[in-house]
Chain A
Amino acid sequence: MKPILLRARGEENSRSINTYLRLGGYAALKRALIMDPADVREEVKNSGLRGRGGAGFPAGVKWGFVPQSTTRPRYLICNADESEPGTFKDREIIHTEPHMLLEGIIIASYAIGANTAYIYIRGEFWTEAEILERAIAEACRKKYLGKDILRTGFDIDIHVHRGAGAYICGEETALIESIEGKRGQPRLKPPFPAVVGLFGCPTVVNNVETLACVPHIIEHGAEWFAGIGRDVRNSGPKLYGVSGHVEKPGVYELPMGTTFREIIYEHAGGIRGGKKLKAFIPGGSSCPVLPADRVDIPADFDSVAEAGSMLGSGGIIVMDETVDMVWALENLLTFYAHESCGQCTPCREGSDWALDIVRRIRAGHGQPRDLEALERISRHASQGMTICPLGDAFCGPIASFLKHFRHEFEDYIARAEPLPPKKLPVLPVRSDRGPFGI
């Protein structure tokens, strides 16, 4: 397959609007603007485009949830928070052709009737935010953005909003809270953002990669897009990010449904140093880990789900035979305990407790009942026990590591020494007080 989303990778000045126009950019926008917004939504629906942010929800369907008769403003948000460990594809799109993203945002805004769009980009992506700001300025000058764009009467502004270091702000309602100037704590649903979202108005949140697909769908048609990949439920080009123990880590654009074997061994050059594959996480760290023998499954939404994991964001973390799986789980739990927003009891307490247990096991003080406790945690902090899926995001790894690599945990516990005497941990909190301190 010829690259689509990353077609300009390696080209000089690929970020400039002139290059983009030379490659046929903004033609889809012109086409979309003479279509009825409902037809744009229909086209995207028919293409089978599923959200690339993690949940895989059909984009056209989501757009259809936005009430069309409302007089309230509607908003489009591009989710460029890209914080799921193992995921680094959105950054690649922004670095390669930021205008492709902008064009996607403008078309999507038109399709749902939004006149303002925000790009929520993680705070660490300062360079990428600058790239986007520059691209927006270029597009404004060429009248692809602003009032009455291309003399069609359609107004659209895009603003870049920087996060400030919080994985949870990738969750769409936490993201909305964050834009509103609050702590990034996910909201109770319902109501869903499509009805009550940003500033209380109907809002669609889509991932960068999802939106970058949109111009191509409008340009080449739904059928063309649906024809790429396994079937219409698993269609289109997909950016697979491969990291960890491979020879050539990086982002690879391949048809949806390419097997993990092909991705890891052909494109990413195989396991580093000729070692053997032990396990891989198929779509960002919150997706259950799969052992090496599942490497032949196709990397698409439905196939990975059948195998008991998720395609998620398509960020594949590869671990070779030398990896200590207890260590790996500890590392992931460190992440989730650090990133839990803390509002739900099961997630706040569970993520940290699970981390304590795994850390203790690895430190050689595991207890026979620890694995049972870990399983209880993973059962009780997931599947709707929490407000947002971050609960599931750390429970999936716990359950899957225990399922596939239980013996490694048991080995640690079998070799364990008794617990050392308790010492009190000291947390970094401010304790000096004002006039009332005691």
Chain B
Amino acid sequence: MTLARTRPLTVAPPDTLADVSFDEAMEARIEEILAKYPTRQAALLPLLWLCQDRWGWISPGVMRAVAARLDLAPAHVAGVVTFYTMYQTTPPGKYLLQVCTTLSCQLCGTSGLAEHLREKLGIGFGETTPDGRFTLLDVQCLGACGEAPVIQVNNDYYTGMTPEKLDELLDGLQ
């Protein structure tokens, strides 16, 4: 068994997200979400998550569709999307490598990992490999400092990372 247990993101190309609509399955999920809150606006974060799960990122077209669905101003939606760091506003790679760079992880050797990744992938933080496989991000404390250093790949945490484990992980992420 390999270390990697993360499935790749589905990332929709920008031209397919200029004008989006929600299919039946998504509509059903949206209704479920709306039922949890007394206001429509409260469904904003969950709906954005739903969209990001579906398309991999939040394009202006997605923001407009979400705004229309919840009766919100598109500028408000954009303000919310950009406030939170986890919503991707440009198409990411299939694997988001999120390296924790906060104190406890740093004390346990994050910078070595970051260097290793940069060298191996040939990209810096905020960049995506040309083959669209990896996006490298520096993130703040992931709330797992006891198992530092921590790297989150898409939804999964990989803890106690070393350069060797990293190599194994990257090989497993196809």
Contact = CB atoms under 8 A, between A and B. Distances in A.
**Do the two shown chains form a genuine complex with each other?**
yes
A162 B49 contact: yes
B139 to A, nearest CB: 8
A87 B143 contact: yes
A123 interface: yes
Which interface residue of A127, A331, A341 has the most chain B CB atoms within 10 A?
A: A331
B30 interface: no
B45 to A, nearest CB: 6
Given A181-B39, A181-B42, A245-B107, A338 B145 contact: no
Contacts of B84: 123, 163-166, 184
Interface string A319-340: 1000100001001101100110
Q: Which of A87, A125, A164, A328 has the most CB of B within 10 A?
A: A164
A249 B140 contact: no
Given A244-B103, A244-B104, A164 B146 contact: no
Interface in A44-99: 73, 82-88, 90-91
Given A88-B143, A332-B103, A166 B41 contact: no
Contact of A166 (B38, B43, B85): B85
A161 interface: yes
B51 to A, nearest CB: 12
Contacts of B87: 164-165
Interface string A123-141: 1111100000000000000
A338 B38 CA distance: 32
A420 to B, nearest CB: 22
A165 B86 CA distance: 5
B169 interface: no
Given A86-B103, A123-B86, A165-B86, A199 B144 contact: no
Given A86-B141, A91-B144, A338-B140, A162 B103 contact: no
Question: Which residue of B44, B104, B139, B147 has the most chain A CB atoms within 10 A of its CB atom?
Answer: B104
The dominant DSSP class at the B interface is mixed
Contacts of B41: 180-182
Given A88-B145, A162-B45, A243-B145, A335 B102 contact: yes
24 contacts: A85-B102, A88-B147, A91-B143, A123-B84, A123-B86, A124-B142, A124-B143, A125-B143, A165-B86, A181-B39, A181-B42, A181-B45, A199-B38, A243-B108, A243-B145, A244-B107, A249-B148, A281-B103, A285-B102, A315-B145, A317-B104, A319-B107, A335-B102, A339-B140
Interface of B: 36-39, 41-46, 48-49, 70, 72, 76, 79-80, 83-87, 98, 101-104, 106-108, 126, 139-148, 152, 155-157
Given A83-B140, A245-B108, 16 more contacts: A83-B141, A86-B145, A88-B144, A90-B143, A124-B139, A127-B156, A159-B37, A161-B46, A162-B49, A181-B45, A184-B83, A242-B146, A249-B147, A251-B146, A285-B102, A331-B102
